[in-house]
Amino acid sequence: MSYCSLYPLMKKKGINLSAQDFQEKVNVIFHDCEAEVYDEMHADMNDSLQEQIDLLVEDLLGHCDVSKKQLRVLDVGCGTGMSSNFLMNSRLKPFIAHITLLDTSSRMLEVADRKAQLWNKEYSLFCGRMSQLSGKYDLVLVCSVLHHIPDLKQFLEEVRIITNPKGIFIHLQDPNVDSLNNENYKNRVKSYRSKDETKPLGRKIKNLLPKRYRSYINRLLGRKNYIDLINDKLIKDKVISSRLTADEIWSITDIHVGSLQDGTMKGISIDLLKGSLGNFTLINQRSYGFYGKLKADLDPEFKKKEQDLINENKLDGRNISGLWVKYK
Ligand SMILES: C[S@@+](CC[C@H](N)C(=O)[O-])C[C@H]1O[C@@H](n2cnc3c(N)ncnc32)[C@H](O)[C@@H]1O
């Protein structure tokens, strides 16, 4: 995957920057503007991500003896510190000596700093990219980040370089490309949608809209819309000269997620990760979002079904996560 999906939009908007520069600038400004509203907008992730981290930590504790370890952890794309917070709530916390919170957005790091002060752990903040770090880490956490990374091969190579021998790599909340054409997954999503049809109209429309569009509409109706703030900043910094729609912005930032812009099916597969993480062993792979939504957004009946599929460790949900160890 390269930057080619951005070319039509860049041409339409008369962008003079390189595709890489353009993507990086939009990505940083987008997340700077999202920082203060991120936790509120993504509150539905709390249950699912805490559960996934807990499961992956159990996988890890079942596989490696970390009891005598004092792990140096790196959270790449830490955002507001949500992912590290889940790690701090998990059974791994006593074995963590130090955590580095890295993000390309300084505003995200400001929010993460506030959270980290409550962990009672040594931590440091780093605004920039993995390639700019000089140290090595025992555990690298990448949560809800891979879909923002145009050049996954390069990014995973950086994960490889920065991970200590016998070090651990945990990634989660990646859009699962393999499920998009999977009949079981498609039938499940259909069954959820048809059940949704029987709901009162207002609720039905609300549930049909992806969460981020709902947030967008809520913001249009009420508080200052953050898409406007992003456009204001992009224009001020001369990245664009005319405003982008919300969907255009997401097609740039969420480059591995299908958008209305290009209509293509995108996502990330475990095979792609295996290809790039040659000297890592996949200890366990997990999945969730079996009905195309996170648990918090499902009715009790489907919540139960989602839970059963998670417990059975089925792998054909909307999202994938994985635990890897660098053995070679
Ligand atoms: C969707 S948020 C996820 C935040 C957090 N990990 C969580 O799970 O809540 C993605 C974060 O990755 C950051 N990011 C995007 N590209 C990055 C890169 N190349 N290097 C480091 N951080 C990046 C963004 O600024 C943003 O804060």
Rounded CA gap, 110 and 106, in Å?
6
Task: Please provide the distance, in angstroms rounded to a whole number, between the alpha carbons at the two ends of the chain.
Answer: 26
Residue 97 has a pLDDT of 97
Q: Is the pLDDT of residue 39 over 70?
A: yes
- CA proximity to 188, closest of 293, 314, 290: 290
Contact residues for 175 (Cβ-Cβ < 8 A; gap 6+)? 147, 256, 257, 266, 267, 268, 318, 319
Q: State in Å: Cα 279 to ligand 1 middle.
A: 25
Q: 168 CA to middle of ligand 1, Å?
A: 19
Task: Look up residue 64 and give its two tokens.
Answer: 């490696």
Q: What is the mean pLDDT of residues 146-150?
A: 94
List, in order, residues 6 or more apart from 125 with CB less than 8 Å away: 100, 101, 102, 109, 112, 113, 116
Give domain 1-328's CATH superfamily.
Vaccinia Virus protein VP39 (3.40.50.150)
pLDDT score, position 221: 45
Stated as kind and residue range, the H or E segment containing 32 is helix 19-34
Mean of pLDDT values over 5-11: 94
Three-state DSSP state, 166: strand
Give ligand 1 pocket residues (Cβ under 6 A): 27, 31, 76-79, 82-83, 102-105, 108, 129, 143-145, 148-149
pLDDT of residue 194: 86
Closest CA to 57 of 172, 160, 158: 172
| Atom 27 (ligand 1) nearest CA | 79
Distance separating alpha carbons of residues 210 and 238, to the nearest angstrom: 30
Out of 1, 20, 24, 31, mutate this one to test ligand 1's pocket (max ligand atoms within 8 Å of CB): namely 31
pLDDT at 171: 98
Residue-wise pLDDT tens digits, 216-237? 555 544 445 788 899 999 999 9
Atom index in ligand 1 nearest the CA of residue 32 equals: 25
Distance 322 CA to ligand 1 centre (A): 17
Do the Cβ atoms of 186 and 318 come closer than 8 Å? no
Angle at which helix 106-116 crosses helix 19-34, to 10 degrees, equals: 40
Residue ranges of alpha helices (H) inside 163-299 are 177-180, 183-196, 201-208, 211-221, 226-236, 246-253, 270-276
Please tell me the distance between residue 285's alpha carbon and the centre of ligand 1 in angstroms: 21
pLDDT digits (tens, 9 = 90+) for 263-291: 565 888 999 999 999 899 999 999 999 99
Single pTM value for the model: 0.92
Is it the case that residue 211 has pLDDT exceeding 80? no
| 149 closest CA partner among 135, 129, 125, 132 | 129
User: How many angstroms separate the CA atoms of 9 and 14, rounded?
Assistant: 8
